[in-house]
Structure 1
Amino acid sequence: MFKPRLYIFLAVLVLVLAFTVTGCSSSKEPARQDEKVIKIGFIGPISGDMKTFGESARNAFNLAVEQSGGKVGDYSIETIILDDRNDAAVAADVATRLIAEDKVQAIVGSLTHRTTFPISQIANGNKVVMVAGAATNPAVTLENGVRKDFVFRACYIDPLQGAIAARFASNNLKAKTAAVLYNKEDSYYNTGLAASFKDTFIKSGGNVLAFESYLQNDVDFSEKLNNIARLKPDILYLPDLHQKAGLIAKQAREKKINAIFIGGDGWDSTEYESAMEGGYFTNHFSASDPRPEVKKWVEDYRSRYGSAPDARSTLYYDATNLLLNAIKVSNSDDPAVIKDALQATRDFPAVSGKISFSADGNPIKPAAVMQVKEGKQVYVTTMTP
């Protein structure tokens, strides 16, 4: 027969396991009855295939709240942190929980389009303010072309960085011709960047000699690269993640393609294929940017966590501060009022650049251009839209 102590032990164990599975934590004790509190939820991939980025995003969110002193306007901040594991179904579940059970007024997150899109639908449908961190797909703030009024983001959208890459190629590198090679099965990121690069490069006076595509699982690009080699373009635009871009770059050099490689923020990495040396890419942020906001952010993050912040953590930091600023300006816990304050934001001094919001809830801000040198990314310049 079980003894009472064993019953108690088992009950406590069940509670601990339940708490661990949800990945939930709160920044403060339950509020006093007379205390005005605003609840803010964090959603990010704290586990799973994007765990490293999710952990740094959580660090950035926590640091922004800490730096506010845990209070904004007349309201004390209570945070609830949940893990979406970079899974769309999990993201939908945790967003529903934050709104239905935790009664949050606002949400910061998530990291990828896969998870951010369902969160945006749920948040907007329930009239809860949401500021996305790093999801660049235009559909996050739009539903069939119609604005999701309660949804904003801190990162620029895919077409913007494709356009900036094309302008950099034309204006800074003085390129006259280009070829584009992209993954056509990636109907969001790759195709969006490829199309905007092509359109802007042509408008800038350049000539796109080839606009080639491949499939997600392709590993041999000989046919496409043979055609590009014959055309001898000044630029080869590769808007895929750095692993695939590196594979293509290696095969391109083997075929004596001497074009300058350019990519998007998917190239953000600490390791590069040697064939990518000298290539350029657009990114949200560079720790080497000389602006005071960047220097302070890098110092604060390094002091708190012992390492330099990455682009994704920077975007979560900006997203959190944009939200906190809107709460402060409105001095309200009403999501509708906070939403209006966010929409009215002009020239907010974010780490990734001064931010104003477009009518679609997207930030109007600059982008950093980086170069791969000696296997590392080096800051080159900042370009405005």
Structure 2
Amino acid sequence: MENYIFRARKMTWVAAVFCFFLSAMATAQERSALRSTAEVETQFKQGVDFFNAGRYEEALAVCDGLLQGEAKHQRVAAALYMRARSAYQLGRYETARAALDDLERDFPKSNYMQHGQALLGMIAFQKEEYLEAAVEFLLVIETGRNVTLRSQAMEWLRVVLDDYLPLNDLRRLRKSYAGPKGTPYVVLALARDEMASGIRESGEKLIDDFLRANPDTPLRAELEELRKTGGEPLVKAVRVGIVLPLSGIDADAGVGVYNGIKYAQLTSGTNNGGPAIEFVVRDSESSLLNALKVTQELLDDPAVVAIIGEVDNAATTAAAALANAKGVPFLAPVATENGIGALGENVFQLNADRERKSRALAEYAYKFLNARTFVTIAPQDDYGQQMADAFSAAIDSLGGEIFAQKWYYGEPQDLGRSFKAIRAAAFRRAHKDSLQLKLFPAGAASKIMDAEEVNIPVTNLNAIFMPLHQEDIRLVAGQRAYFNLQSAIIGGEYWYLPDLEKNRELQRYVDGAIFASDYFIDVENERYKQFRNDFRTRMGTTPEKWELLGYDAANLLFKAIQQGGRKRSQLRETLAKIDNFVGMKGEIALNNPAQVNSKVNILQIRGAQIVKLR
């Protein structure tokens, strides 16, 4: 094995304050040899802005433009480094390595060289080349001139040595590596592993020999303590990132989810027979851009094995895509948008997406309500479109008929034209039926084609699917009753209406409605009552939807960690096998190709109560 210390590129990297670093740093050699041009500076600044906004593809394109042909300007070294950083963020690790190789070859004295060594370590870590990663971090410790950077490299090195390198690799590293600053960390890790593996005499001798030769080592106390305790297995806390909107417009939801996570840690996280869980919490401030920034901070920490987040669908999608590119499992406790689970093998959507909810509702209506004829009315937005389209596709595949689809924009104050069109479509269909006279009250035959006669009920429509936002339900359900559509009501997730007992008028319009939901609270269930009472005592508030979603997400992750998922890849494999996890909000099953919860609660409104059908 080659001696890694002699093949060092001698680069270092600081992840923080990247925009200021790139803009300000240039070597004296570069400044004297190259002349600044406004065009290059403008283009480079644009690339930096793209990078800091999380627009890595565009940042990479700017770097490629700056490096075209035989580029000779004052920003070539910076562009090479930014190209490496942008490619790294996109998961294009070989492209990043190639850019750093070019930087070393063409600018051996550039200050950027110091900031590439740690990046090489992170690249090796992401590619699961853990011995190589350890070497790169050791070289940062030996050659880095920045105290903060060396401290960060020591933390990353410890993660790799303690959690990722097997005993044989530690021995190889000890034999080939001779750097005075990093060697104590290798000796500590190797001695611990040997003693924990039953080779106590070898571990003790390693410590004794090292302390004899290096009496002033900064790790002396740790080494002496290790020799005294006899190498008990190292049980480190597992670090989990949390990205939630703890301030801003979505703070109520974010704080609720976080309270559920904290409660889970208090009651389960330290009593599950596994390692302690350390949460690293970041506030996205209800901002998509900030969600990306804080997610990237967490992903740059090799000790973070998973991330839980976000609340907003768009922020969840963006953060999950970043995590997936870095091979870090990402648990989405709230999002229901279609396609999030499809971002990659590291993304787990703990709620059923809209497509699955709509399909479950269609199957229930067709099989259990014996419904065959349907209409839909939905808001013309992403939510309404996804729900209505998935429901219609499922009904078509089952053999049912959607004979009218209606959409609305904004607040649905007056949907008279839409409901009249639905009535007309129902009457036309009835008129074609040879038994159409049996569908209407006696004496109504002369009026069956008059859709304006709302006193004549429409009875040949089996069900109306209305995936509405909660604030629209009262308005639309009231108009549906006025236009006398005698059909089953099927709704979406937002039909889980609070305080129904206080609103008798709304009860009249929605009674009997069947809908899908990610969570269900049975207030009479003994398990829930114990949970609610203890939550109130410990957290000082009553748990509701958001708290339940956070609680279940944390407990599911604890279960996966307890089953041996302490590394990112192990955790991903364990999460992908989760089947029938019984949470407080309902069941969770992720063992499907999409890694989206396949369990859906089918509920019904009965008076002021909500009951579970299946």
Shift of 1:110: 1.4
Alpha-carbon distance in 1 for matches of 2:512, 2:560? 41
What residue number does 1:75 align with?
A: 275
What residue number does 2:581 align with?
A: 348
What residue number does 2:613 align with?
A: 381
What residue number does 1:140 align with?
A: 340
Alpha-carbon distance in 2 for matches of 1:280, 1:373? 12
Shift of 1:292: 6.8
What residue number does 1:221 align with?
A: 415
What residue number does 1:36 align with?
A: 236
SS of residue paired to 1:80: strand
Are residues 169 and 131 of structure 1, via their aligned partners in 2, closer, same or farther at CA, if it must alter by over 3 Å? same
Are residues 38 and 203 of structure 1, via their aligned partners in 2, closer, same or farther at CA, if it must alter by over 3 Å? same
Alpha-carbon distance in 2 for matches of 1:295, 1:168? 29
Alpha-carbon distance in 1 for matches of 2:581, 2:290? 32
Are residues 322 and 74 of structure 1, via their aligned partners in 2, closer, same or farther at CA, if it must alter by over 3 Å? closer
What residue number does 2:137 align with?
A: none
Aligned residues: 343
Q: Confirm whether residue 255 of structure 1 aligns to residue 483 of structure 2.
A: yes
Are residues 53 and 303 of structure 1, via their aligned partners in 2, closer, same or farther at CA, if it must alter by over 3 Å? same
What residue number does 2:557 align with?
A: 323
List gaps (5 residues or longer) in structure 1: 1-30
Alpha-carbon distance in 1 for matches of 2:600, 2:471? 26
What residue number does 1:8 align with?
A: none
Alpha-carbon distance in 2 for matches of 1:71, 1:104? 21
- For 1:166, give the aligned amino acid: A
Alpha-carbon distance in 2 for matches of 1:349, 1:285? 12
Given that residues 111 and 312 in structure 1 are in contact (C-alpha distance below 8 angstroms), is that contact kept between their aligned partners in structure 2?
Answer: no
- For 1:111, give the aligned amino acid: V
Shift of 1:172: 3.4
1:3-48 residue CA offsets vs partner (Å, 9 max, x unmatched): xxxxxxxxxxxxxxxxxxxxxxxxxxxx997651211122223233
362-371 or 211-220: which moved more? 211-220
Give 1:3-152 correspondences, 5 Å limit: 36-70=236-270, 74-100=274-300, 103-143=303-343, 148-152=344-348
What residue number does 1:171 align with?
A: 367
TM-score with structure 1 setting the length: 0.79
SS of residue paired to 1:52: helix
Alpha-carbon distance in 2 for matches of 1:370, 1:54? 28
Correspondent of 1:369 among 603, 607, 613: 603
Alpha-carbon distance in 1 for matches of 2:601, 2:569? 30
Given that residues 565 and 574 in structure 2 are in contact (C-alpha distance below 8 angstroms), is that contact kept between their aligned partners in structure 1?
Answer: no
Are residues 52 and 330 of structure 1, via their aligned partners in 2, closer, same or farther at CA, if it must alter by over 3 Å? same
Pick 1 or 2: higher relative contact order, CA cutoff 8 A, min separation 6: 1
Alpha-carbon distance in 1 for matches of 2:361, 2:565? 39
Give the number of the structure whose residues are more often helix, by fraction.
Answer: 2
Are residues 290 and 354 of structure 1, via their aligned partners in 2, closer, same or farther at CA, if it must alter by over 3 Å? farther
What residue number does 1:26 align with?
A: none
List gaps (5 residues or longer) in structure 2: 1-158, 160-220, 223-233, 427-457
1:167-198 residue CA offsets vs partner (Å, 9 max, x unmatched): 33233333332210122332xx3222212222
Alpha-carbon distance in 2 for matches of 1:373, 1:306? 31
Shift of 1:60: 1.0
Q: Confirm whether residue 237 of structure 1 aligns to residue 465 of structure 2.
A: yes
Given that residues 244 and 310 in structure 2 are in contact (C-alpha distance below 8 angstroms), is that contact kept between their aligned partners in structure 1?
Answer: yes
Q: Confirm whether residue 206 of structure 1 aligns to residue 400 of structure 2.
A: yes
Given that residues 349 and 355 in structure 1 are in contact (C-alpha distance below 8 angstroms), is that contact kept between their aligned partners in structure 2?
Answer: no
- For 1:80, give the aligned amino acid: V
Are residues 229 and 52 of structure 1, via their aligned partners in 2, closer, same or farther at CA, if it must alter by over 3 Å? farther
Are residues 285 and 370 of structure 1, via their aligned partners in 2, closer, same or farther at CA, if it must alter by over 3 Å? farther
Alpha-carbon distance in 1 for matches of 2:419, 2:333? 35
Compare CA radii of gyration and give the structure with the larger one.
2
- For 1:335, give the aligned amino acid: R
User: Sequence identity, in percent?
Assistant: 22
Alpha-carbon distance in 2 for matches of 1:119, 1:356? 19
94-103 or 83-92: which moved more? 94-103
1:174-233 residue CA offsets vs partner (Å, 9 max, x unmatched): 3332210122332xx322221222222344443222122223456432221211133232
Shift of 1:136: 1.3
Are residues 299 and 370 of structure 1, via their aligned partners in 2, closer, same or farther at CA, if it must alter by over 3 Å? farther
Shift of 1:165: 1.6
1:264-306 residue CA offsets vs partner (Å, 9 max, x unmatched): 1122331567133432221122211877765554454344345
Q: Confirm whether residue 335 of structure 1 aligns to residue 568 of structure 2.
A: yes
Alpha-carbon distance in 2 for matches of 1:76, 1:235? 51
Q: Confirm whether residue 287 of structure 1 aligns to residue 515 of structure 2.
A: no
Query: What CA RMSD, in Å, does the superposition of the two structures yield over aligned residues?
Result: 2.9
Shift of 1:241: 1.2
Shift of 1:155: 0.8
Shift of 1:381: 1.5
- For 2:369, give the aligned amino acid: L
- For 1:348, give the aligned amino acid: F
Alpha-carbon distance in 1 for matches of 2:369, 2:250? 34
- For 2:263, give the aligned amino acid: L
